[in-house]
Amino acid sequence: MIVCRTKAELKLQLSSLRKQNKSIGFVPTMGFLHEGHASLLRQAHNENDAVVLSIFVNPLQFGPNEDLDRYPRDEKRDLMLAEECGTHLVFMPSVDEMYPNKPLTSVIVSQVTDRLCGASRPGHFDGVGTVVSKLFHLAQPDRAYFGMKDAQQVAVIKQMVNDLNFHVEIVACPIVREPDGLALSSRNLYLTPEQRVQAVLLSRSLRQAEEQLTEQGMTSARLEAIVKDAINEADEAVIDYVELLQFPSLQPIDAAALLSTYKEPLLLAVAVKFGATRLIDNRIIQATEVNSYV
């Protein structure tokens, strides 16, 4: 496994792979890798000749009061896990390497960023779109792998790729969970033991809502209320949002419309804070194309 810390080093190594006509699978991350990231790397390894992993904590996607400085980092552990998963190249640039000057250009995807995390974290997806665009240009992968835990990010990246004609296939991979259902996240590290116990309510409430989806007269307003009531059982939980939207357009659903009339995939997404730790989770429901996304 080769570690590249500059764009020039990455270009040189990728040139060698291209001369051998090797297909490239790319997994962009912010590091502090866990089993969710490992599942992306393994799938990329199975579907490509070479795997490129990027580890870069991107300052552009953090707001003024968010956890950029607190974001966990463990380079040694990340590299060990990457090698175990069959990674060929790791791109680990510094902020100065990625942004030698303050960028005056950004990639902004509209509409699909209007709700969910796009509404509660203004500018977040501008930072995501900009850095992923840069990384795609640098890595020039055949396929790029993203976890469905951040379903909105998947929708944003797919929209950007389609609109800007990137020659890369976006592969959406299933959410990886703890045995009790909690979605794996680097931020789970910040939870207190009590918060960790309560956080299971996110996945439990989503599963409960899906089970009640087919009840007679079920509407999006009722389904969202079911999730909110379940999460509010946790005394440390502060709900940021609970929303049911069409997927992948992320357009809203008439609150009074019967869900039985919708045939396209629907995304039930939540964001909840436990103290200073913000967790997200989601479930694709009533989806004839569910296997395309989960």
Instruction: List the catalytic residues.
Output: 37
d(C-alpha 166, C-alpha 260), whole Å: 36
Phi-psi region at 181: left, alpha or beta (left = phi > 0; alpha = psi -120 to 50): left
Joined tokens for residue 129: 């779109």
Closest C-alpha to 268, from 256, 286, 254, 255: 286
CB-hemisphere CA count at 13 Å for 281? Answer: 25
Scored b (16 or more CB within 10 A) or e, 173-200 reads bebbbeeeebbbbbbbebbeeebbebbe
Which value, to the nearest 10 degrees, does the dihedral of the CA atoms of residues 182, 188, 194, 199 take?
-30
Joined tokens for residue 55: 């580890």
- Strand runs labelled E in 87-236: 89-91, 143-147, 169-173
Q: 53 has which bridge partners?
A: 27, 90
Tell the burial category of 142 from Cβ atoms under 10 Å away from its Cβ (0-12, 13-18, 19+): middle
